[in-house]
Structures are given as structure tokens and as C-alpha cells.
Structure 1
Amino acid sequence: MSDYENNGCFCLDELTDGKASLKRLTDDLKAEYPVFLEKRDSASISELHITVKALWNEFSSLLHSVAEYDSGELYRTALKLFDGLKRFDYLGSGNYPALISALYSFADMLPDKAGIDAKAAAHLMNRIKMGYFPTDEEHVRLIKQAINFPKTQVNILDPCCGEGLALKAFAENENAATYGIELDESRGHTAQKNLNNARLGSFFHSSVPFGRFHALLLNPPYLSCPGENGGRRMERAFLSDTLPLLMRGGLLVYIIPYHRADSSVCRTLATYYKNLSVFRFRAGEFKKYKQIVFFGIRAEKHAAERTAEKIERLCLCPEKIPLIDTVPKGLYSLPVKETAVPYFKGSVFDVEELVGQLKASDSLDLLFESADLESRTRKPLLPLNLSQIGLVGASGLMNGLVDSDHPHVIKGKIIREKTRKNMPSDREDVSGFSETESNKIIFNVLTQDRYITIG
């Protein structure tokens, strides 16, 4: 059984569903066109309009999955067909038979779960398993040029920090406290050497306070399979779940492949961030990973449907996105307000982290100091009365050498004692008795010249 059959991957699931939807909508278009030609009334025009709009939306979503699967010839064909769909004269002299034929042909070209060959599936799964695409330090420096850091201390979070190198370079020579979380244990331990605070485990199960971070450096995993977050793609999941962590006015730096800027991602960006801008990575990195970087300032939720659509259209044509080299210096400024991060806990118990915390803490010293206090010799403030002496003896604490003017050894213990008592009887030839058992405290005392039992 192949890796895909075991695990699945998002883009093939999306392509399979999209292929079926595209064929269904093409069937609808094929059936509605003759009705429109015959009647040309408002009802037939309305039906045609609804189908065409659904076709555009479906094709727009398909483009992202096609680019993820194959950004070569198949994607270029998809872009040309999408451009043709938008320019087509649906109510005029458009060549419907040619359009319908082109849509069917393109749908047949799309891969799906049933038809993908083993070689293509293996190639896709290998890309998925790579998963870890850290931002190179050269691009981090270019990104940093766009940002003004205040003199006050800022908190910067990378929720999937890898080895922490990108965040370290981002905060270098700045008054910044760095916070990172990493799922991979080996990379996480390396990050602990590079960052002020690095924790192990899944970000989604970690404990991180809301509204305490001035900047968020977010480069989430790409090409992921359904896993602990079910049907959520990682770039969407990280974007939405990190929203509450940025303070108002905080800066988002969001790095993803251009083809993952789908309607959901663009809508989140446009709704919760302002002063958005997007730049394309340099040719070498872009050729490998297709990365773009978004900048945005955290704002109150606001309606921005048109902005989201504009961003999505731009990202479908990455050659139109400006290069990161052209980003204006000091385009964004981090908030000046200092704030503490009261807690920061990963989802995995980290022994090495605990060791470091204990070394930095005085809790062990206090513990041993308390143990010393408990073990010291203590004398009662007042002489013990008879009952208290009995309790001490019964507990076994009076058990050893008594150093005094007349030294002796004393040991207290409890013994069981039986007492028999005669009971009167009405009959002369019969006598009765009762027997009871009770605890009795005795002390055995050994002096210099004799042995005494008291009790």
C-alpha cells in the first residue's frame, strides 16, 4: 500500500473534489445553454449567471491545488483557461461548444486519488515528507529592512521555529526577547541554544498568552497531510490560531508558497490585518519553494471582501508580485509598549528545560534548608506532662540514649494486656468471669547499674 493510500494529502483530495465539481458544473453549463438560446428570458439568464459564477469560484480554488501539485505546464494551462473563462461572452456570441469541450478536456487532465500513478504519488509524498523549509538568513535580513524596532524591549514569536536560526537573525542586535515552539525534538533542542525561550511540542497544544507579542514570524509547514488537526491545512491553521497572540498594532510576517494564498487565507489576512503588503522571494528560493511574504498590522475585525479578492488574484500571477528587494526600508514599526509574557509552555515535558530551570532557581536550596530544619534537635518549650510522655513513648520517638547527668537508654512500646474479672452468679455451683484486652504503654530503661521496666 502506498504512502498516499495510508495518509492522503490535501492537494490530491482538493483536486479530486475539484475535478468532480468542474465536470458537474460543465454538465450544467452544457444543459442550460440551449435553454438560454431558445428562451433568452430572465429565468434562463439567471440560471446561466449562477452556474457561471459557481464555475469561476470553483476554477479559482482549483488553481491553488494545481499549482501545488504541478506549477509547470498544467498550471499555465489552467491560468490560460481561467483567463478565457473571465473574458468569455456568455450572453453574446461566445463559442459555447468550444468552451465546454475545453472544460471537459482540462478536467480529464487533472489528477485524482484513483488515477494518479505511483511515480507521481511518490514524488508528491516525498515533497510532503521534506516538510521543513526554513527561511534562509539572506531573506530574513531583507524582510527585516522593512521593520523599525523600538528601543524598548519587544517580544517576538515563531510558533514553528525549527532550529531557531531565522528568528535569531530576525532579532539580532535588537532589544528583543525571542520565543519559539518546535514539534521536532532534535530541532527544538537546537532552538533552545539559539533563542531566549524555546519549547517543544505542538503549537496547537502549547500554552501561550494572548496579546503579548509585538511581532509574529510565521513560516508554517507546507504540503501537509491531514493529521492532528483533521482537515485543516497548516498554513490556515497557524494563521487563524496565532491571531489572538499578537497585540493590537503588532506586526505579522507570514511566509507561504504563493499558491497557498487561497480565498480562506486571503480573507483572514484582509479581515484581521491592515496595511497589508506582499513580496516575492528572490529567484533561487522562489524556484525551489514558490515563497511569498505578507506583512500586516494586527487590527480590529473589519469587512474587507474586495481586498481579499484582490490579494487572491494577485497571488495567482506571482510574476506580478514585487520582489522582496524592493520592499521600502522602515515600512512598518513595532509597538513601543513593553509587556511581560507571564507564561510560555510547550505541549511536551522537556527534561533538559526542567534541569535548566532548577539550576536557575533557588527552590532546591530552600528544600534542603527545610530538611535541615526538620532534622535539627529541638527541645520542648515546657516540661512534658504525663499524657504527652505517653504519646511520645507510644509513637516510638522515645527510643534511644538520653544524655543527661545520669545517662540511660530508654525504649517505649505498647503491649497488649489481658484483665480477668470474676462475675457474680445466682447459682451457688456456677461462677463467671469476664476478660478484657487493652493497650498498655511501658518503658524499658537501662541505667548504668540496672534494668527497669516502668508501666
Structure 2
Amino acid sequence: MSFDNQKYYAIVKLEEAARSIKQAVNELPILRKRLEKLKENKTKAREVYSDLQQQKNKLLSAFNTAVLSLLEMELNEMVDYSIKLSRSVKVFHIMTPDYSKLCSVLLDYISKLPVTDTTKTTNAAIIGRLMASVKMGYYPTNIEHIKWIVKGIAFPEDITVNLFDPCCGCGLALHTLAGENNCNTYGIELDRHRAEESLTRLNRVGFGSYFRSRISNEAFHIMLLNPPYLSVMTEGSRNTRSEKRFLIDTFSHIIYGGLLIYIIPYYRLTPDICRVLCDNFTELTVWKFVGNEFQKFKQIAIMGIRQKRQNGSALVSKLASLALYPDSISELSELPENRYILPKIAKKVELFKGAEFNVAELEEQLKKSNSFSKLFEKNKLDSDNKRPLLPLNIGQVGLIGGSGLINGIVECDTPHIIKGRIVKETNINKEENHNNKGELIGTTVYETRSNKMIFNLLTPQGFVSLSDYGENEEESQ
């Protein structure tokens, strides 16, 4: 795979933010002047005021997008400057007559961003960091952090808990999460070598892409989701983040009252992801990884209990703000013991099939299938002794004898061993043809091929061979 022409998500979003800020610079002064002209017409003035407020909100949203992208690029000075500028914009009164100073500051801010819309150039060091992150690709979850998560979960007694990981890797994280508890572990892994390794640790493993797998909904008490964080290009050149796509497509597998453990970098806790979480989960908490692990991978664990879908828009802003202030997030080691109590509901995973064939999964499916046992099941009628309704004719005797069904020892008054076989015989007859004068004009040859049934018998008195003719097949030439 070539990384030379990659379109990195952080850069794309920063470019979008820069364009939105520039659009605000162009439109805000125009709207303010229009509002001034229409101040005598309250109805129209109210509409323009609403447009002005919406444009300010778009500007604030663009700053939030820029901050998250800059965090991913590890440009901390620009992050601090962006947050301060965003706060100033937030308190800026839209009825201020002169917007020139605000627009000047915004244009200066755009010029300082590490990517510009005109040159399409980005600092080589930034590209290097993003490229290194992409090339690393696979981020296995740190096991010590999984142990802290386990401490915060109260597993129910007397039932088997179903655990699911849509990106299970080598299966070590999910195996650690199960621990000594009564659990069945299910994982999906795209990489075949890692999937084969995970078979040694998990109960069931599906090979191939999760998105082509078939899995029961509302069947798992816990879902551990540590998805890939790369951007994937879809039709129409829209950027769809892998971590968002995985979240939206997978949470339906969790039972209501079940627990989601969602691990992503903190700068990917964007408002759109927060909306999905707030709509579908309650008791949401966010915990950052500890020490060097957080410094290296910037990961956080978002935990929540699945609920019936509701409008969680009022909660989005508070959750999304944590990404802007990672220092305010508590470390995972501080997660209280038994913080999340799993429901005492027994569930059976009716359907679990990976996208690709693997022998272990086939074995599991055959265990559940009655068809395989029926294939080798001996019919009761076949094992009973039976007599024909009518005496057999000579042809039927020949068929039965040739098939070998009557071979073997015959227990009777004169015990003997019988073996039947069929041999082919060819008989040739010639017939001379004469004309009216009695002269020989030709010879017709008749070739008769017949199946000859031979029964060989071994009796106490010696060997006996019996034969008879069955159906004939004639050919003339």
C-alpha cells in the first residue's frame, strides 16, 4: 500500500474548518450591514438576526473541528491559540457595528494554520507523524488497562455472560476481560494470522471483515470496541471514519442494559460520535489511559449502558467538550470497583458467522446442525429383516445377486456360502444371403452380447457353479 498520496483525515477536516472560517469572514459583515438597514422592519430584521446567529454558531463549530485536527497533529501551541480565539468569538456580541477587527483576526488565524487552501501544502513533520500513525495500523489494547476495566464491572452469577469484540486482534484483550468469570467470548478479526491465534483464546472467532459477517442482535452483555482509527474513502469522496462506522454498525449487538467499552483517541470524540453515544447509551463515563500509554496513543475508554434510543442532543456538548480538555479526564485506574452492573439475563447467540470460511467455525456449525447427523443415520427399516411380497422372477434374482446383497453364509438345512457375479458374453451368428439364382450376395453377421449371472456356491460337499442368462442386448451389422 502506498502512503505517498494519502488524504489524511486530520488535514481534510482542518481544510474544511479553514474554509468555514473564511466563509464566516465574508458573510458576517454583510449580514451585519443588512441587519442595520432593516432595523425598522422587525420581521425581516429578525430573520437576518437569526442568520447572523447561525453563522456565528458555524464559526464556533469550525473552531472545534480545527482544534481536534490540531490535537491529532500534536500542534499544542496552535491548539491553545485556537481555544482562546474560540472563547473570544463566543463572547463576541453580534450587534457590534464594526466587524473589521474580528475579520482581521480570523484571517490572520487562517494564515497560521499548517495547511492552506491555496498552496495545498502541509508541514513535512506533520505529514510524517500522520504517516507513521497510519503505518502502525494495528493498536492492540494494553492488557493492564483491560484489568482496570474488569475491576469496574460487576459480573452476574449463575448465568453465562456473552462478550463480543468486532476487532479482536489476537484475542488477548477479550480473553483478559473475561478473566475467571463465566463467559463466552466471540470475536471477529480481519487479519487471518491474528484470527487463527485468537482461536486459542476465544470460544468463537469469525474470519474476515466484520461488515460482511452475520451476527445476532441484542445477544451480548458486553462489547469491547477498539476499532481502527483510519479514514476510509467512500463513494462521492466522503470521508467516513472507521471508528464512527464501527460504532454505528455494532452497538445493536449489545442487549439493552448491556455495557459498551469504546476505545478511541480523545481527539476523535467529535460531536457526531457524541450524539450517537448520547442517543443510545446512559451512564456515560470517559476515562483516559494511564501515563506513557496515553502520551503515546492518546486513547480514552468511553463506557455506557445501552438504552432505548432517545434524543440525547442536550448531553452532546458536555461530552464533546472533554476532547478539548483532556487534562480534565480521569485516568482509568480511578474507575470505581463494580461501577457498572451487568444485567442478570441469560442470552443465547443464535447466529455468529464470519465473512470467510474457516474449519473451526464449520465444526461449530455442524455441531448445531441436525442435517449432518441425519446424513449418517441408519434407517430403521433398513436394519429390519424383510421378505418380498411376491416371489422374485429370474431377472430380479439376477439383479440382487449381481448387487452382492445375498453374498455370504446362508444358514439353512444345507448351509452354504454364496457369491454372485455378472460376466459379459458375446455370441456371433452368421447368415448367408442369396439372390434368386442361388448365388451368394452377402453375409449378415449377428453379434449378441449378454450379461451372464453366475452364482458360485461352497457347500460341505464341494464347489458348485450355477449360471443363467439375464437380459440380452443385441447389435446387428
* TM-score, length of structure 2 as denominator length: 0.77
Equivalent residue number for residue 323 of structure 2: 315
| Separation in 1, partners of 2:313, 2:418 | 94
> How has the CA–CA distance of structure 1 residues 252 and 34 changed in structure 2, closer, same or farther, with 3 Å as cutoff?
same
Corresponding residue SS for 1:157: strand
Query: Letter of the aligned partner of 1:121 in structure 2?
Result: I
Quick one: distance in 2 between partners of 1:326 and 1:401?
A: 80
Structure 1 residues 330 and 387: CA distance shift in structure 2, 3 A: same
- After superposition, the Cα gap between the structure-2 partners of 1:439 and 1:352, relative to the gap in structure 1 and judged at 3 Å, is same
The superposition leaves residues 312-362 of structure 1 with CA deviations (integer Å, 9 ceiling, x where unpaired) of 123222222233233332221011112222332222222465579889999
The correspondence of residues 276-425 of structure 1 with structure 2, limited to 5 A, is 276-351=284-359, 381-382=387-388, 384-392=392-400, 411-412=421-422
| Deviation at residue 71 of structure 1 after TM alignment | 4.5
Residue equivalent to 1:242? 250
Aligned residue number for residue 474 of structure 2:
none
Amino acid in structure 2 at the alignment position of 1:99: L
CA distance in 2 between partners of 1:209 and 1:400 (Å): 54
**Larger RCO (alpha carbons 8 Å, 6+ apart):** 1
Is contact 2:409-2:415 (8 Å) kept? no
Q: Does 1:211 align with 2:240?
A: no
Q: Aligned ranges for residues 19-34 of structure 1 at < 5 Å? A: 19-34=18-33
Task: Indicate how the Cα distance of structure 1 residues 412 and 20 shifts in structure 2: closer, same or farther if over 3 A, else same.
Answer: same
Change (3 A) 1:391 1:449: closer
How far, CA to CA, are the matches of 1:22 and 1:306 in structure 2?
A: 25
112 and 208 in structure 1: CA distance in 2 versus 1, 3 angstrom threshold? farther
What is the letter of the counterpart of residue 115 of structure 1? Answer: T
Instruction: Pick one of 120, 130, 135 that aligns with 1:129.
Output: 135
Instruction: Say if 2:455 and 2:467, in contact at 8 Å, map to a contact too.
Output: yes
In the TM superposition, residue 268 of structure 1 has moved relative to its aligned partner by 0.7
CA distance in 1, matches of 2:144, 2:37: 62
The within-5 A match list for 1:77-226 is: 77-92=81-96, 96-108=99-111, 109-111=113-115, 114-116=120-122, 120-151=126-157, 152-226=159-233
Match of 1:3 in 2: 3
Give the CA RMSD over aligned residues: 4.4
Give 1 or 2: higher strand fraction.
2
Structure 1 vs Structure 2: percent identity of aligned residues?
Answer: 32
1:122 to partner: Cα distance? 3.9
Query: Is this contact kept in 2: 1:390–1:441, CA < 8 A?
Result: no
Residue 111 of structure 1, CA deviation: 2.2
Equivalent AA in structure 1 for residue 82 of structure 2 = A
Deviation per residue, 1:365-419 (Å, 9 max, x gap): 998997xxx9x9x9974564223134457x7769999999788876435679999
CA–CA distance in structure 2, aligned partners of residues 44 and 408 of structure 1: 107
Which moved further from structure 2: 240-249 or 134-143?
134-143
- Cα distance change on mapping 1:408 and 1:156 into 2, 3 Å: closer
Structure 1 residues 221-230 or 177-186, which shifts more?
A: 221-230
My pick for the range that moved more, 8-17 or 283-292, is 8-17
1:28 partner amino acid: E
Deviations 1:100-128 (A, max 9, x none): 12222333314268323555334312201
Instruction: Give the counterpart letter for 2:142 in structure 1.
Output: D
User: Which stretch of structure 1 is more off in the superposition, 200-209 or 115-124?
Assistant: 115-124
Q: Which residue identity does 2:422 align to in structure 1?
A: G
Counterpart residue identity of residue 412, structure 1 = I
Structure 1 residue 167 displacement after superposition: 1.7
Sort the Cα spacing of 1:361 and 1:408 in 2 relative to 1 into closer, same or farther, 3 A: closer
Paired with 1:299 and 1:446, the residues of 2 have a C-alpha distance of 80
Instruction: Check the 8 A contact 1:32/1:48 in 2, yes or no.
Output: yes
In 2, Cα distance between equivalents of 1:36 and 1:130: 53
Is the partner of 2:199 in helix, strand or coil? Answer: helix
TM-aligned CA deviation for residue 296 of structure 1? 0.9
Uncovered stretches (5+) of structure 2, i.e. residues with no partner: 432-443, 470-477
Change (3 A) 1:134 1:230: farther
Does structure 1 conserve the Cα–Cα contact (< 8 Å) formed by 2:216 and 2:349? yes
Conserved? CA contact 1:13–1:112, under 8 Å: no
CA 1:110/1:39 → structure 2, altered by over 3 Å: closer, same or farther? farther
Question: How has the CA–CA distance of structure 1 residues 315 and 117 changed in structure 2, closer, same or farther, with 3 Å as cutoff?
Answer: closer
Q: Secondary structure at the match of 1:286?
A: helix
Once the 2 structures are TM-superposed, how far is the Cα of residue 8 of structure 1 from its aligned partner?
Answer: 2.8
What secondary structure, in the 3-state scheme, does the structure 1 residue paired with 2:352 have?
coil
Range 46-55 or range 270-279, more displaced: 46-55
**Are the counterparts in 1 of residues 406 and 418 from structure 2 also a CA contact under 8 Å?**
no
Equivalent position SS for 2:214:
coil
Q: What amino acid is aligned across from residue 266 of structure 2 in structure 1? A: Y
Q: C-alpha distance in 1, partners of 2:371/2:34?
A: 82
Report the Cα offset of residue 248 of structure 1. 0.9
Count of matched residue pairs:
444
Contact residue 274 and residue 296 of structure 1 kept, 8 A: yes
